[in-house]
Structure 1
Amino acid sequence: MERTEGNVIAGGAVLECRNVGRSFDNYDGNGRNEVLRNMNFEVHENEFLVLFGAGQCGKTTLLNILAGLDMPTEGEVYTRGRKVTGPAPERGVVYQKTSLFPWMTVEENVGFGPSVRHVPEKERRELVKRYLELVGLTGFEKSYPGQLSGGMRQRVGIARAYANQPDIMLMDEPFGHLDAQTRYMMEEELQRIWQKEKRTVVFVTNNIEEALFLADRIILLTNCPTHIKEEYIIDMPHPRDYVDSEFLRLRQLITDNMDLTL
């Protein structure tokens, strides 16, 4: 057990989930609904960790707790040994719906976080330029979200999160609403961005191919009350091939171990 000093745990992981549980009052006021139970895992520096499970199994609830947007009813979350008590710039979040400001241009959306943090204008412009280049949107700086495709809007959302320069990126099924071809292209883009600008990433999905394409490690979750069923180290080089024999073997192995009924 690490030595504890106030809210700080000496020698803690980049991100650590300790005995986390989350329950909600039922709508009829009769009892409680347990969504998460005894969640224990660590996330390592520059790791791409995928939380994988069937739909409606509590993945978004868990991600919101990691982000500090919700609090567990049991257990605690730590970032670099410090207890999470709310949202913080060190944890960037990208959701399936990008929630861009429609009245702002692309560059204004990406620069919004740094402006709120009072980053000097020259540095803010450099950040916006850097991350728009990173996501391949140079030339669209003056466009508005309504003028962009779904994939392009998601790129803006990723650039906006990166522009805040978080230690940890938390991504909740960011490509779930895209068509199959655009989703595949965005997975390739995200892997390229991650290889170029290393960050610790926690990525939520219910798509096994997406999980295997992106992950260093996959945590397989059960249905509610959700807990960890299995962990898989994905030791395949990038870029990955969907029809590679090892890819197909792991796909079958993990699929066979899933809880498919709710």
Structure 2
Amino acid sequence: MSEDSPMDDEFRKRWRGLNERTVESLDTRNYEKAELATRLGTVGVEAGEIATDSPGPKEGLEDVWIPGVEIFPRRVFQQRHRGWFAEFSRMTEGRLHDIGLNPQQWATATMFANTAKGFHIHPPAIPEDEDPATWNQNLYPTASGATDYDARPYGEEQWDAMFFVQGMVEFLLVDERAGMQRKVMRFLIDGDNFPGSNNIGLVIPAGVAHALRSASSENVIMVYGTSTTFHPPFEGRLFSSIEECPLPPEWKEYLEE
């Protein structure tokens, strides 16, 4: 803002009890929330704000939702004096059943507090005689088109389905599929030890880069299923140096003597 503007005069009057150098460096925080659609791809949202009771994007977020991503609520039952209990999926009903996804492998992972897992991505299975962009666009039609879940090649590409048992995480998704608009989704998920609307299940399609980091002072425990068994060549890494733990320079220098 200009020095002679009314807003600037008011700002300076409010802070005139500070020295000039500090006032020149001062900023204030805007506590007004942007629209949900804007926050989803920028500063992030609470997972409970975007969870849906049926497959597909949350109403009103169709233009910013990554096609194929599923975020659905999970109910956590607190068992007083003992702990808690929660389901993730059933093969006869629920979100994974609705979209025809039956994980072939289940695993668990722990992330220590203040750590992160860098962006990684799995390749979409594109038939040799198909153009990748056209294939993806047909497989994931616009919001007005009907989704054919049976056409998805779950058995030929890795989809991830996951939930969190403990801790809090910030999750990021980026659509990198050929022919698809590049979109970003950023949201916070709570583990089952923090019961509430942020207890969600998450489904990530092949071709969508994903990363996560701990968002609290405790370890994160996650459980995830994959549509295929793990195949190392099918895991691509993107900007994942955050996972490295380099030795202190003096240690490295000593070892190289």
**TM-score, length-scaled by structure 2:** 0.25
**Bigger proportion of residues as helix:** 1
TM-score normalised by the chain length of structure 1: 0.25
* Structure with bigger gyration radius: 2
